[in-house]
Structures are given as structure tokens and as C-alpha cells.
Amino acid sequence: MAAVSEGWKDLGAVDALKSREVQPIDLDGRPVALIYNDEVFSALAGRCVHAGGPLGEGLLKGDYLVCPWHGWHFHCRTGEGRPGYGVAVPRYETKVEGGGSGSGPRPPPRRSGNRLTQPTRSRGRSSADRDRPASSGSPRPS
């Protein structure tokens, strides 16, 4: 097996990883959805921002990874939700080293400076606040 570049994790043999379009990967205790689409690997955070669904168990629909729990869509390369939804899941960089020597794509740790590595924050109240009934006698925050 080839040496792994510093900051990257060996995920396994490329040919084996190519056998599935979407698969769950454990990255040092963090779930990651590894995607192989159009001859390119990509990796997104393994939990949906909506309700924590396992994205590594989702399916591809065109260029979008679909959460198996509630059908939320995230672009398989960028992690961004469908246009108009204003959500995203973190993405990881991937690379292939050593061709067929058993090296695989390696997501590095998240980088806080890249806007696609952090979920998009919604403006206004959270969904939990919107779903909570207003207490009687007090106005509901806007």
C-alpha cells in the first residue's frame, strides 16, 4: 500500500470504492458520504442538516445526493442544497494517489475558511422555534 500524504486518510482500494455510487465512510469517528459519480470521487458530511439522516445511505438523483429519510437534496460535489433552499452540508476534498495500488480518495479535516465546509445558517428563527407554539399571552417572536 502506498504511503498516505500528511493530513489525508486512506479510504481503501480505488476499484473497490468505485463499485458503489454512494457509501458511508467513517473518518476518525465522523460519518462521511463518499460519492463516485461521472468518474469523480467527492465526499460530503454524512449527516443531513435537516434531521440527521444518514447521507451515506442515500441515493444519487442526477447530480444530487438525496437523504434517505426525508428526501432533502445536496449537490454531490459542492454540498449545496437545491437552488432556493439556502442550505448546505460540509464537503471534503478528495484525491486519488497511486492509481490502482490500493490508495483511495482521502478527505482531510474540515477547513473553516471555505464557505462550503460549513452548513449555511438560516436567517431568522430556527425551524425548532417556528414549530414551537407561542405561549398564550405573549407575542410570538418574528
In a domain, 129, yes or no: no
Could you give phi then psi for residue 37, rounded to 5 degrees?
A: -145, 130
In a domain, 33, yes or no: yes
Q: How many CB atoms lie within 10 A of CB 138?
A: 7
Domain that holds residue 79: 14-114
In angstroms, the CA 60 to CA 119 distance is 20
- Containing H/E element for 114? none
- Pick the more confident residue, 41 or 8: 41
Q: What does the mean pLDDT of the chain come to? A: 74
In a domain, 133, yes or no: no
Give me the pLDDT at residue 140, please.
37
- Pick the more confident residue, 109 or 63: 63
Give me the pLDDT at residue 113, please.
35
Give me the pLDDT at residue 72, please.
95
Give me the pLDDT at residue 139, please.
38
In a domain, 98, yes or no: yes
In angstroms, the CA 51 to CA 116 distance is 19
In a domain, 9, yes or no: no
pLDDT mean over 9-25: 89
Asked if residue 91 has pLDDT above 80, the reply is yes
In a domain, 75, yes or no: yes
In a domain, 135, yes or no: no
What is the number of alpha carbons within 13 Å of residue 28 lying toward its C-beta? Answer: 9
pTM of the predicted model as reported, rounded to 2 decimal places: 0.68
> For position 107, which CATH number holds?
2.102.10.10
- Pick the more confident residue, 114 or 66: 66
In angstroms, the CA 141 to CA 134 distance is 8
- Pick the more confident residue, 117 or 14: 14
Count of structural domains within the chain: 1
In a domain, 140, yes or no: no
Give me the pLDDT at residue 63, please.
95
